[in-house]
Amino acid sequence: MNENIFAALFLSFLAGAATCIGGLLAFFVKKDNFKVLALGLGFSAGVMIYVSFMEILPQAQVSLTGVFGYNPAGWIVIASFFAGIVIASLIDTCLPQAHHLEGDALSPKNKLKHLGLFTALTLALHNFPEGLATFMAAMQSPALGVSIAIAVAVHNIPEGIAVALPIYHATGSRGKAFWYSALSGMAEPVGAIVGFFFLKALLHEAAFGVLFALIAGIMVYISLDELLPTAHEYGDPHKVIWGVVGGMMVMALSLQML
């Protein structure tokens, strides 16, 4: 039993650590290469939008349908999704704004830093239940746990990019870009540990369903309100769209591995 627990925790850790691979991109990008920044932000938006609508919301529907039935579950998913958007807006308002960071409300660097912090926080919220899911699957079936961990790791790589690029361009520090992306991924093993040992009695299908729908709303908000507008400021809108499409393609392929 203990061996299964440690193996499951290790898989959750590896899946979360994949954000570091995306964070390493900062070491290979020139600081003033705004074309890469715009393309990367568009790519990240594509990842987050696709995973929200094609994976997270369907999972929420399945979880809630088992408890409430299909039609009531659909209404709960809708309400939770838009509640997530409202929550994201409140988080966005509460995060340190540009003029609080460095004294210049109009500074592009401050906008990028705000974006990177907001993305890191949002992805950490997303990775928390994801880590718990990987852990529980590995406890039930090591083979299933490995499959899920690989798929999660693949789509955590572009999530790491979403954090690293704006932080790097805002601060000029590759180290900060890397560690912020790494920390957002470490929510996976934290989610596994906290969820299994402290929240196990509270985690049931209905709670998972509402949580997934909330996270989907948060991720769509940050994509539309933060990632895409910032990408358009730094690059050709047509290239940004191709970045979005590329992100969706990568996410679609990683989810197909499940």
Q: Render pLDDT for 110-146 as a digit per residue (tens, 0 to 9).
A: 667 666 776 777 677 667 766 776 776 676 567 656 6
Residue entry with tokens 């690059």:
235
Average pLDDT over residues 28-49: 76
> What tens digit of pLDDT does each residue of 89-107 get?
887 677 554 434 344 444 5
**How far are the Cα atoms of 8, 201, 235, 252 from residue 230, in angstroms, in the given order?**
38, 41, 9, 24
Q: Across all residues in the chain, what is the average pLDDT?
A: 76
Element housing 55 (H / E): none
Structure token pair of residue 18? 């994949």
Q: Which residues of 112-139 are buried (b: 16+ CB within 10 A; e: fewer)?
A: bbbbbbbbbbbbbbbbbbbbbbbbbbbb
| Of the candidates 110, 120, 122, 121, the residue with the CA atom closest to the CA atom of residue 52 | 122
Q: Are 148 and 258 in contact (CB under 8 A)?
A: yes
202 alpha carbon, distance to own chain's centre? 23
Q: Which tens digits make up the pLDDT trace of 190-235?
A: 877 776 776 566 667 787 788 788 878 877 887 888 778 878 877 7
Tell me the C-alpha to C-alpha distance, in Å, between residue 104 and each of 91, 94, 118, 174, 227: 21, 18, 19, 23, 21
pLDDT at 95 (0 to 100): 57
- In which residue are the tokens 């907001």 written? 118
CB 41 within 8 A of CB 230: yes
Would you say 122 and 219 are in contact if contact means Cβ atoms under 8 Å apart?
yes
* Residues 226, 121 contacting (CB under 8 angstroms): no
Task: Report how far residue 162's alpha carbon sits from residue 103's, in angstroms, rounded to the nearest whole number.
Answer: 25
* Gap between the Cα atoms of 252 and 100, Å rounded: 38
